[in-house]
Structure 1
C-alpha cells in the first residue's frame, strides 16, 4: 500500500494522469472523426484521408528540419541560462523559417505532382495549395510546443493539446458534415493551425515580444548540434510515409478503396493506444533526460519510467485485447 501511495504522490504520476486525460480526449476525438468520415464519405474516404495523414506526418519532420527532439533537449539544458537559451531559440526559429518558405513554395507550385503521388486521382491539387498557406501556422505550433516541453511546462502543453483536440474535432465534424471529403481534408490541415493560437499565446507570455529573435543570437555551432537530430528523423519520416502510402495504394488497386479504408480504420485503433507512451516520452522523459547531470540521475529517470509507466501500459494493452 505504501508503494502505491508513493507512486500517486510523484510528479511523474501527476503528469501521467494529465497526459492520460489528454490521450483519452484525443482518442475520443479520433474515433468520432473516423466515425463521421466513415458515415459521410465511406471507407474509401478513410483511405484517402489516411494517405494525407501520412503525408502530413512527413511534412511535420521536414518543415521542422527534424529538430523537434533537439529543440526539447537544448531548451531543457539551457533553460537556466538566458544567453544560451536565446541562442538556442534564435537558431531554431531562423533556420525553420527558411525551411517553411522553401517547402511552402514546393507545395504550392508542385501541387499537381503531390496530388498524383498521394491521392492518385488528379482531383485534389487544391489541398496542397491550402496546405502551403497554412504551413507557417502548422509548423509554428510544432516548434512552440517543443519549446514549451523543453521548458517543462507540462500542464500548459497538455492543456493546449486537450483544447486543441476538442476544437479540432468540432471543426472537422462541421466541415465533414457540410463539405464531405473536402471538409475532411480541410479539417486535418486546419486543426494544427488552430492549435497555433493557443501555443503562440503561451509562448508569448513566457517571452514577451520574443526578445531572442535577433540575428546576433544565431549560432552555427548550435545549428550543427541540432542537425545531428535531423538525419534519423528525416529518414524515419520518409520511410514510414512511403510504406504506409504504398500499402494503402496497393490495397486500393488489388482489392478496392473500401478495403483500404477498413485497413486504415484498424490502423487508427492501433495508433491510438500507443499515444499514451509516445506522448509521455516527449512530454516528460526527454526533458528530464536532458537535464540529468550524471549517470546516477539518468538511471533514476529510466528507473521511474520502467517502474511507473510500463506496468500501466501493459495493463492497458491487456484491456484493449
Structure 2
C-alpha cells in the first residue's frame, strides 16, 4: 500500500479522533476551566508513562517485527505470545502499584490526597490501556488498515461516551475517572473486531515466552521507555513550574494549547505511524530509505504548513469555539507554538527512522537532550517573556532537534546502509 493511499484511509480515523478530541476539549473547557485542564494534563502524562512502562515499552517493536516476520508465521506468533505475556505481567504489576500507592500518587500528581480514588480507577484501567495498545500494534504491523481504522474510530468514540457522561455526572472528578477508564470499553470492541480477521486466532496469543524475542525487543523497550519517562515528566515539571511562578490557570492555558496542538498533529503523526514504521522496517538500502523519506516530506511537510497557517489565521474564532472565551489568552502563545509544531513534523519524518531501524543510542540521547533543552529554555525564557516564554522554548527546542535529526540520522544511514 502506497503512502498516499495509507494516508487517505487513515485520514478518516484521524478525522473522527480529531472531532472527538475537540469535542472533549470543549466539554472540559466549559465544565472544568483552565485549572481543571491542569489536573487532566497531569493525569494524562501519568497514564502515558504507565501504559508504556507497564507494557515493557514493546509496542513499536511488535509493529516492526510483525511486519518483518510476515513470511514466517511461527516466529510471528511467537512474537505475539511473548508480547501478550509481557503485557499481562506488566499490566497486573502496574495495577497493584497504583492501587496500593493511590494516596501517594494523588499527593504527588494533584497535590491533593482526597483524589486518591482517581488512582484506584487508574489501577483498574491501566491493564486495558496496555492490552489495547498491544493489539493495535499487531494490527499496524500486519498493515491491516481497515481494522486499524475501525479500532481507532471505536477507541475515539469510547473516549467521548465515557468521558462526557462522567464529566456531566461528576465534574472534574468525572473527567479524571473517564480518562483513566475509557479504554475498558474500547478494548472489548477492538478485541471482537480482531477475531473477525482471517489472519487472527486467539490461540496465536496464548503460549510461552520466547527469550530470543525478548532480546530482539529490548532495543525498542529502551527507546520507548525513555520517551515514556522523559517527555511526560518534562511536561509535568513544566506545568509545576508555570503554576509556581504564574498561576494554575496559566498552566492550564498552556495545557489547553498543547492539547489543541496534539489534536491537529494527529493528522500527521498517525499517518506516519501507520505507514512509516512497517514500511521502513522492510527497506534495507540507503536509496530506498531516502525515497521513502522524500515522499514523507512531499506529502506531510507542506500539509503541516497549510494546517498551521489556517489555525493562525482563524486563531481567535477557533479558540473561542473549541474552548471558550476564557481561554483567549492562548492567542498570545499560539504563533510560536505553531512554528514549533511545523518543525516537530519535519523532525518526525526523520525520527521515525530511528524507531524503525532501532537506532537505540541516537534515539535515547536525542530524546533526553531535547527534553532537557525544552525545560531549560522554558525556565530561562519565562523570566524574560512571561508565559509566552514556554511557547518560544517549544519552537527553539524543535528547531535544534530538527537540525540534529538532519545531521545525525543522515550520517547513520549513510554509514549503515550505503554499502
1:150-299 equivalences under 5 Å are 150-206=141-197, 207-215=200-208, 218-299=209-290
CA distance in 1, matches of 2:144, 2:8: 15
CA distance in 2, matches of 1:139, 1:234: 14
Q: CA deviation at 1:294?
A: 4.2
Q: Is the 8 A contact 1:154 1:284 kept in 2?
A: no
Q: Is the 8 A contact 2:22 2:263 kept in 1?
A: no
CA shift digits 1:7-45 (9 cap, x unpaired): xxx732222123223223222222221221121122211
Q: CA deviation at 1:110?
A: 0.9
Residue 133 of structure 2 aligns with which residue? 142
CA distance in 1, matches of 2:138, 2:64: 9
Q: CA deviation at 1:314?
A: 2.5
Q: Is the 8 A contact 1:127 1:186 kept in 2?
A: yes
CA distance in 2, matches of 1:130, 1:301: 43
Q: Is the 8 A contact 1:15 1:155 kept in 2?
A: no
Q: Is the 8 A contact 1:34 1:46 kept in 2?
A: no
Does 2:7 correspond to 1:16? yes
Q: Is the 8 A contact 1:90 1:212 kept in 2?
A: yes
Q: Is the 8 A contact 1:69 1:282 kept in 2?
A: no
How many residues align structurally? 310
1:111-150 equivalences under 5 Å are 111-150=102-141
Q: Any stretches of 5+ residues in structure 2 without a counterpart?
A: 313-419
TM-score of the two chains, using structure 2 as the length reference? 0.70
Residue 98 of structure 2 aligns with which residue? 107
Residue 6 of structure 1 aligns with which residue? none
Q: Any stretches of 5+ residues in structure 1 without a counterpart?
A: 1-9
CA shift digits 1:51-93 (9 cap, x unpaired): 0011111112101211111010000011221111111111111
Residue 4 of structure 1 aligns with which residue? none
Q: CA deviation at 1:184?
A: 0.2
Q: Is the 8 A contact 1:107 1:132 kept in 2?
A: yes
Q: Is the 8 A contact 2:81 2:204 kept in 1?
A: no
Which range moves more in the overlay, 301-310 or 167-176?
A: 301-310
CA distance in 1, matches of 2:231, 2:54: 16
Q: Is the 8 A contact 2:242 2:250 kept in 1?
A: yes
CA distance in 2, matches of 1:210, 1:107: 30
Match of 2:59 among 43, 60, 68: 68
1:231 match: secondary structure: helix
Which structure's relative contact order is higher, taking Cα pairs within 8 Å and 6+ residues apart? 1
CA distance in 2, matches of 1:312, 1:172: 31
Q: CA deviation at 1:223?
A: 0.4
Residue 384 of structure 2 aligns with which residue? none
Residue 77 of structure 1 aligns with which residue? 68
Q: Is the 8 A contact 1:204 1:210 kept in 2?
A: no
TM-score of the two chains, using structure 1 as the length reference? 0.90
Q: Is the 8 A contact 1:51 1:119 kept in 2?
A: yes
Match of 1:25 among 9, 13, 16: 16
